[in-house]
Amino acid sequence: MKNKTILGISAFYHDSAAALIDNGVILAAAQEERFSRIKHDPAFPEQAIRFCLDQAGLSLQQVDAVVFYDKPFLTFDRLLETYLSFAPRGLSSFIRSMPIWLKEKLLLKPQLLKQLSALDNSEQLPRLLFTEHHQSHAASAFYPSPFQQAAVLCMDGVGEWATTSAWLGDGNKLTPLWQINFPHSLGLLYSAFTYFCGFKVNSGEYKLMGLAPYGKPVYQELIKEKLVDIKADGSFQLNLKYFDYCIGDKMTHKAFDQLFDGPPRVAESPITERELNLAASIQAVTEEIVLALANTIKQETGARYLCLAGGVALNCTANGKLAAAGIFDDVWVQPAAGDAGGAIGAALAAWHQYYDAPRTSDHKDGMAGTYLGPDYSSAEIKGFLDKHQIPYQPLDQQTLYTETARRLAEGNIIGWFQGRMEFGPRALGNRSILADPRKPEMQSKLNLKIKYRESFRPFAPSVLEEQADQYFHMSQPSPYMLISSPVKDTLRVAGSEQAMAEQNGLDKLSCQRSSIPAVTHIDYSARVQTVSKTSNPQYHQLLTCFEQLTGCATLINTSFNVRGEPIVCTPEDAWHCFIHTEMDYLLLGNFLLDKKDHTETPQPPQGFALD
């Protein structure tokens, strides 16, 4: 069939994004937050769309179709039915939300057409299509995966009605099997505990997952007895008596407070043993449900492979348990599993389902390592540095790797800005902050001096793919940092388990656990990124040089940003982040910046007090 260029859009809830595909190949994708510098920006992704079009050298008129990742009328139907079900409770929430829906969201199609028209000042617009929310998640999971046939499991907060859905992908076909509907939601259950433990919903779930190993799952049975009824097949129902998200402004009801010994933790207040145990308990319940659902979909489909998407699929600990369980031969997780990835899914769903285009059979990962965002040439970087009279040292290609490896081995923290920006929530070696994982003090130093965030937050290791099995117990590669794996026993420090047992709560962090302590969580797990020479030759070369110099084939890799800000996009973003933190060096392409050449004093973000 004739080639078609399709623009996918996700917007107006959180993590707005745009993606452009041509003949089924993803050319470009980016979140709006990277350009607007507003974290989780929900706005119409104008700048992300402009980038995608510019990357392909196209105008909007040359695009064949624009696809939105959600059907607002179905969402409105769900809201109306929910409010009616709970009436007269929720009247104040109904009064606040309805004007927005009646004036804006129900008129989404003309709003989209108006905003698209403003991009090119043209009335000649491509065909506008809409996918269902979980359809876009499922398409983002299956179509870029390397599998010609696979089961697909989507789990999130809610999209229209669905909160959990199962699909079977076969060639270009994606067949829905079943779904669990709102208000029964695994994503909202996890977010309720995120809220109750004092973290922000839709961003603090990572913190709750990182906190879980510090606690004990003492509330696990209570959660299953009172909050969620889990069937043998993994399907579940929530006891809505304890939740307020259907009609209120909060996630939990007062009955939730009574069940868990008091009101929610106040944000930024000390974390107590209760929060540690709550995190451990809801993580255990989540893993139980995910594994049961995976077993069910395996029995129903007989598929050898599983694809995951939706916000719950960003829970790398649950993913690690699922991969290790061996239910499927391989598990592939969409790296932009949340709403941002819906832009890719919407475009691919239109290509394969609406236009009935076949999939290629090359068995490759279609996400291109997630390196789908903007890149900057040496001339552009040099122009920025010269314009602002910023001191730098140019390096040739080989010196770039050897000098960076040497400085890392000396204990320096380095901003690494190379190539195309990653799409999704993880930095994977192009917009990264790097450090030596062998240094015991590096986790606290990075959290408090660079990231300006809570000291308990774990860091992920990047490891040469060909040497990953020397460091971690892994059943498959993990290129997107979305699967946790145990650190090899041979790397563990003798007696560390006993030492941690003698410590309480967050004090366990002071115990050195392995020979790569800065990336070993207190349960001896690590959120691993395996780096292949094919997907990112530059980062692979840096890791190789570091291994040749130190004998260690891993590096700490954390996203190039500080707390509350999106990952950096431009050289200017990177320079500002470098200047306002205690990073030692910055590599902007082949240009080395030394902090000693700059006089600005690092300052933490407003409102964050260093411990």
Closest CA to 427 of 563, 335, 519: 335
Residue 545 Ramachandran class (φ > 0 left, ψ -120 to 50 alpha, else beta): alpha
Specify if 214 maps to a domain: yes
Structure tokens at 312: 């719950």
Q: Which one is predicted more confidently, 495 or 305?
A: 305
Specify if 466 maps to a domain: yes
Q: Is there a contact between 109 and 117 (Cβ–Cβ < 8 Å)?
A: no
Question: Could you give the CA distance from residue 405 to residue 427 in angstroms, rounded to a whole number?
Answer: 19
Question: Could you give the CA distance from residue 562 to residue 560 in angstroms, rounded to a whole number?
Answer: 7
> Residue 515, Cα to own-chain centre: how many angstroms?
28
| Amino acid occupying residue 589 | G
Q: Are residues 102 and 199 in the same domain?
A: no
Indicate if the pLDDT at residue 286 is higher than 80: yes
Kindly report, residue by residue over 571-582, the tens digit of the pLDDT.
999 999 999 999
Specify if 602 maps to a domain: no
Q: Are residues 157 and 251 in the same domain?
A: yes
Closest CA to 476 of 322, 330, 313: 330
500 — pLDDT class (breaks 50, 70, 90): confident
Indicate if the pLDDT at residue 20 is higher than 60: yes
Give me the mean pLDDT over the 216-232 stretch: 97
CATH of the domain at 61: 3.30.420.40
123 — pLDDT class (breaks 50, 70, 90): confident
Query: Residue 570: what pLDDT?
Result: 98
Question: Could you give the CA distance from residue 74 to residue 80 in angstroms, rounded to a whole number?
Answer: 10
Q: Is there a contact between 358 and 173 (Cβ–Cβ < 8 Å)?
A: no
Kindly report, residue by residue over 149-159, the tens digit of the pLDDT.
999 999 998 88
The rounded radius of gyration (Å) of the Cα atoms in the chain is 24
- Paired strand residues for 96: none
Indicate if the pLDDT at residue 27 is higher than 80: yes
Indicate if the pLDDT at residue 605 is higher than 70: no
Q: Which domain holds residue 347?
A: 5-141+342-366
Give me the mean pLDDT over the 590-601 stretch: 86
Q: Is there a contact between 42 and 12 (Cβ–Cβ < 8 Å)?
A: yes
Question: Could you give the CA distance from residue 93 to residue 249 in angstroms, rounded to a whole number?
Answer: 7
Specify if 605 maps to a domain: no
Kindly report, residue by residue over 57-108, the tens digit of the pLDDT.
999 999 999 999 987 755 655 555 555 555 556 555 555 565 565 555 666 8
Q: Are residues 33 and 123 in the same domain?
A: yes
Tally of domains within the chain: 3
Q: Are residues 414 and 452 in the same domain?
A: yes
Q: Which of 126-130, 180-184, 447-451, 551-555 has the least mean pLDDT?
A: 447-451
Q: Are residues 125 and 159 in the same domain?
A: no
Q: Is there a contact between 187 and 313 (Cβ–Cβ < 8 Å)?
A: no
Last residue of a domain, one of 276, 309, 333: 333
Give me the mean pLDDT over the 144-149 stretch: 96
Q: Are residues 462 and 528 in the same domain?
A: yes
Q: Are residues 197 and 262 in the same domain?
A: yes
Mean pLDDT, rounded, of the chain: 91
DSSP string, 40-105: T--S--HHHHHHHHHHHT--GGG-SEEEES--HHHHHHHHHHHHHHHTTTTHHHHHHHHHHHHHTG
Query: Residue 254: what pLDDT?
Result: 92
CA dihedral 538, 541, 543, 546 (to 10 degrees): -130
Query: Residue 202: what pLDDT?
Result: 87
Q: Are residues 63 and 89 in the same domain?
A: yes
Query: Residue 576: what pLDDT?
Result: 96
Q: Are residues 157 and 286 in the same domain?
A: yes
Specify if 610 maps to a domain: no
Query: Residue 121: what pLDDT?
Result: 81
Exposed / middle / buried, residue 2 (Cβ in 10 Å: 0-12, 13-18, 19+): exposed
Specify if 313 maps to a domain: yes
Q: Are residues 94 and 176 in the same domain?
A: no
Indicate if the pLDDT at residue 351 is higher than 80: yes
Q: Are residues 316 and 206 in the same domain?
A: yes
Specify if 406 maps to a domain: yes
Give me the mean pLDDT over the 114-122 stretch: 87
How crowded is residue 222: how many other Cβ atoms within 10 Å of its Cβ?
12
Closest CA to 518 of 378, 428, 411: 411
Specify if 119 maps to a domain: yes
Strand blocks (E) in 406-456:
414-417, 431-435
Give me the mean pLDDT over the 464-477 stretch: 94
Q: Is there a contact between 329 and 15 (Cβ–Cβ < 8 Å)?
A: no
124 — pLDDT class (breaks 50, 70, 90): confident
Pairing of β 236-238 and β 228-230? antiparallel
Query: Residue 74: what pLDDT?
Result: 59
Q: Are residues 76 and 101 in the same domain?
A: yes
Query: Residue 90: what pLDDT?
Result: 52
Give me the mean pLDDT over the 126-135 stretch: 94
Kindly report, residue by residue over 507-549, the tens digit of the pLDDT.
888 888 999 999 999 999 999 999 999 999 999 999 999 999 9
